[in-house]
Structure 1
Amino acid sequence: MDTNSQSHGEPSLVFDSLDIDLVVKVLSHTAYSPFFLFLLPVFFFFQGHKLDDPPILITSAYFVLVSFFWLLKWYARLYRNQGSLLFGPGAVDWGEQIVLITGGASGVGELLANTLAVRNVTVVVLDIKPIVTENYNITYYKCDITKWEEVEAVAKKVIEEVGHPTVLVNNAGVVQGKLILDLSPEDVKQTFNVNTLAHFWTLKAFLPEMIKNKSGHVVTTASVGGIVGMAQMTDYNASKAAVISLHESLRYELDKRYHAPYIRTSLIVPGHILTPLFSTTHFPSSWLFRFCFPSLEPITVAKAIIAVLDEQHSQTVYLPFYANFTPLLPLLPSFLRDLAQWFSGADHAMNSFIKVSGRREDEGPVSDLSRHSKSE
């Protein structure tokens, strides 16, 4: 094979699959793993170094520092979940769980529903469109979750026909992708109805039984957009910021007012996911950008949610790795904040956005809109 025939502008398959998340994953099992680091001073000792030699002192100090970090992280998680120092939560009996997913007919919700169903979990999907599945243990209910009366009526049917959900995954979402002055009142209402108010309606419908049983798990899907601002995303980001605040307040109400601290509340904060919702966004195509700001496959998010449910711990999950730093951005000086915004390409990602998912009747089909935009 002629190696010179490959274009310099086309990265190899190896580099295509390499991103910062993979690097961090490797480091977490090596350079940031106390179990691995413990072996380093031992290795130098058996190489003939004395205990006060620099190689042993440096590696030992680094081992203690990393171990302290992991111990602090472990204790914080233990405290948040009212855990015991000796005993963690038992394994999930998936056969006893009823998982209700909003927006489960497509994207992450569909993958999550089908993946759980393979585990023989009873899954309930609420959506305005039916889910395409061959799994017998997925029950679909047509429901406009933006309307309390409809959620209340469907909830009664779910409880009567399937049972009380033990896990609630508020996953449904919609995005308009317009500048603030281009947003119609219907656009703003739809965004907040789906992304925010629907969470209130499902909680009002299904949380009482969880409180009664002092157990359950509420998973809230938010977005990095709920933490940092982006152009052409004002309504979406505001709705996700409200959801993050709802999640935080719900935790304290359950802990302090309803005296139900064992109801787990987990928050998923993803970046860009490769679903129809954001299929027409455009980001820089450079290798460096893809390395630092990789887009998420829907299955990655679905697996993260399942891992949260498996662990039975309340937690906040940021995906991908860069999302962990978004809470720090508002603390930066404005010039550094703007530099990060420029590098992320967030303010121009929606320039040619076309709404594909969640279109209302008054918006017309996507094909008509596409032809219209081409004719212009």
Structure 2
Amino acid sequence: MGARIREIPAKLPKNFDRPDEPWYHHLTIDLIWKVLGYTVFHPWVAWVIVLCLRAQVTPYQSLEMQIAIVWAFLTTGRAIFGIINAKLAYGNAREVDLSEEVIVITGGVGGLGALIAEVYGMRNANVAVLDTKKVDLEEAEEKGVVYYECDVGDAQQVDEAVKEIVEDLGPPTILINNAGIVHTQSILDSTAEEVRQTFRTNTFSHFNTLRSCLPHMLNEGRGTIVTVSSVLGHLGAANLSSYTSSKAALLALHSSLRAELAQHPNGEDIKTILVTPGQMSTKMFAGVRTPSNFLAPVIAPVDIAKEVIGLIEKGESGDVAVPLYSRYIQILGVLPLGVQVLIRKWSGIDTAMAKAGLMKADKTALNEKR
């Protein structure tokens, strides 16, 4: 008999915690856009329509044939432009073999980080999680993940943890900077310590892990770095000033990182992924209501994880921005200020914390990891 297969208990992630919601709750602009992408806007479908018209002996001079041909060329041109644009922006993909990769995830005990860590753990990848929360050895073995108790805001602790990872698993080649906390106070109610703690965890931790892990990637000549920011980094929001500011800093940091890697002789095969999600169904913003489930749906962590894991394993750089509005939210900044004010009022972005009852009068933090 062969070796007994190790059983790994797994809880499948739920897309929604409210199973009794009506069917139209799941009808969103993101779903419609995805369906259109595989049908009306897909080059293959467009050329099939042309072939079907020809099969009916439709003359080339007819209006419907001319419209179909023009549309087929437009969709094909759009697809080719997208491929060329991605090549110019991110270069060629690198080869990824999970058996030869060492994955480091910050804030990987809960939320999005935990989901990604457990997926790779079940696939027998080398996964190291840095988090301040303790995990039992038995639970860690069941998940196939190695946990290191570490405050990622402390540079010395990160250096020591990475040294242990190199000894235990090997040099890190995939870094997922995911750790994050939020303080829901106004600027006047916040304290210097709260602001410092937010930036320490949300922003400074990225510098700490990059300084410790990036040299190993450069020596290996390969790697992938994932920066988890937020759509609020583009927008800002009342009563979330320290959180949104810390996430906005990550947008600039990631751009600088890409520019520096492009200039480094060993940086060609180090890929970068920027994640700017909208509201996720995690404990961090539980209770916050979206202004429109159709235009701005709440995203399950599994939807973000699938896209991040997909890019990592393809060996590609890229941006993960879901739902759809987060991909184009920067357009808001070029609109007239009056229009911006109206959109912010309609969206309720500046009143969401108060309405959700998440304002902390006692100035305690929602320390749930993203």
Instruction: Normalising by structure 2, report the TM-score.
Output: 0.88
Q: What do the CA deviations read for 1:11-33 (whole angstroms, capped 9, x no partner)?
A: 96321221111111111100111
Q: What is the identity, as a one-letter code, of the residue corresponding to 1:24?
A: W
Find 1:242's aligned residue among 249, 253, 274: 249
Further displaced range: 138-147 or 313-322: 313-322
- Aligned equivalent of 1:28: 37
Matches within 5 A, 1:326-341: 326-341=329-344
| Pair 1:177 & 2:184 matched | yes
Match of 1:102 among 92, 102, 106: 106
Offset at residue 89 of structure 1 (A)? 4.5
Secondary structure of the structure 2 residue equivalent to 1:190:
helix
**Alpha-carbon separation, structure 1, partners of 2:309 and 2:359:** 29
Superposition pairs of residues 49-88 of structure 1, within 5 angstroms? 49-83=58-92
Offset of residue 220 of structure 1: 0.4
Tell me which moved more, 116-125 or 335-344. Answer: 335-344
Q: Is the 8 A contact 2:155 2:208 kept in 1?
A: yes
- Pair 1:355–1:101, CA change in 2 (3 A): farther
**2:142 is the counterpart of 1:139:** no
Distance in 2, matches of 1:123 and 1:281, equals: 32
The count of aligned residue pairs is 343
Tell me the secondary structure at the aligned position of residue 135 of structure 1.
Answer: helix
Say whether the 8 Å CA contact 1:282–1:350 is kept in structure 2.
no
Structure-2 residue corresponding to 1:290: 293
Which stretch of structure 1 is more off in the superposition, 94-103 or 74-83?
74-83
Q: What is the CA-CA distance between 1:78 and the residue it aligns to?
A: 1.4
Q: Structure 2 matches for 1:194-273, cutoff 5 A?
A: 194-273=201-280
CA offsets 1:70-98 (integer angstroms, 9 cap, x no match): 11111111122333xxxx644x3111111
Residues 1:119 and 2:128 aligned together:
no
Q: Deviation per CA, 1:140-198, whole angstroms, max 9, x where unpaired?
A: 00000111111111111111122111100000011112111111111100110011000
Tell me if structure 1 keeps the 8 A contact 2:181–2:366.
Answer: no
SS at match of 2:83: helix
Instruction: Say if 1:29 and 1:332 are closer, same or farther in 2 by CA, change over 3 A.
Output: same
Distance 2:255 2:269 in 1: 15
Corresponding residue SS for 1:180: coil
1:259 offset after TM fit, Å?
A: 4.3
Q: Secondary structure at the match of 1:252?
A: helix
Give the alignment partner of residue 174 of structure 2, picking from 167, 171, 184: 167
Q: Does 1:319 align with 2:326?
A: no
Judging changes above 3 Å, is the alpha-carbon distance between structure 1 residues 229 and 217 closer, same or farther for their aligned structure 2 residues?
same
In structure 2, relative to structure 1, the CA distance for the partners of 1:54 and 1:300 (3 Å cut) is: same
Matched, 1:278 2:293: no
Deviations 1:217-257 (A, max 9, x none): 00000100111122112111111111111100001111114
Distance 1:364 1:34 in 2: 49
Q: Summarize the Cα distance change of 1:133–1:18 in structure 2 as closer, same or farther, 3 Å threshold.
A: farther
Q: Which residue of 2 aligns with 1:148?
A: 155
In structure 2, relative to structure 1, the CA distance for the partners of 1:107 and 1:42 (3 Å cut) is same
- Secondary structure at the counterpart of residue 345 of structure 2: helix
Unpaired runs of 5+ residues, structure 1, are 1-10, 367-376
Structure 2 unaligned spans of 5+: 1-19
Q: Determine the C-alpha separation between the residues in 1 that align with 2:47 and 2:68.
A: 8
Q: For the Cα contact (< 8 Å) 1:269–1:319, is it kept in 2? A: yes
Q: Distance in 2 between matches of 1:247 and 1:160?
A: 28
Offset of residue 130 of structure 1: 2.8
Structure 2 equivalent of residue 373 of structure 1: none
- After superposition, the Cα gap between the structure-2 partners of 1:162 and 1:290, relative to the gap in structure 1 and judged at 3 Å, is same
Report the CA distance shift for 1:331/1:186 in structure 2 as closer, same or farther (over 3 A).
same
Identity between Structure 1 and Structure 2 (%)? 32
| Contact 1:277/1:355 (<8 A) preserved | no
Q: Relative to structure 2, which stretch is displaced further, 317-326 or 40-49? A: 40-49
Change (3 A) 1:23 1:308: same
Is the partner of 1:181 in helix, strand or coil?
A: coil
The offset of 1:365, in angstroms, is 9.7
Structure 1 residue aligned with 2:13:
none
Match of 2:49 in 1: 40
Alignment RMSD: 2.1
Return the offset for 1:271: 0.4
* 1:135 CA displacement: 3.2
1:14: which partner in 2?
Answer: 23
Structure 1's 365 and 212: CA in aligned 2 closer, same or farther, altered over 3 A?
closer
**Does structure 1 conserve the Cα–Cα contact (< 8 Å) formed by 2:152 and 2:208?**
yes
Give 3-state SS (helix, strand or coil) of 1:232's partner.
coil
Whichever residue aligns with residue 305 of structure 1, its letter is V
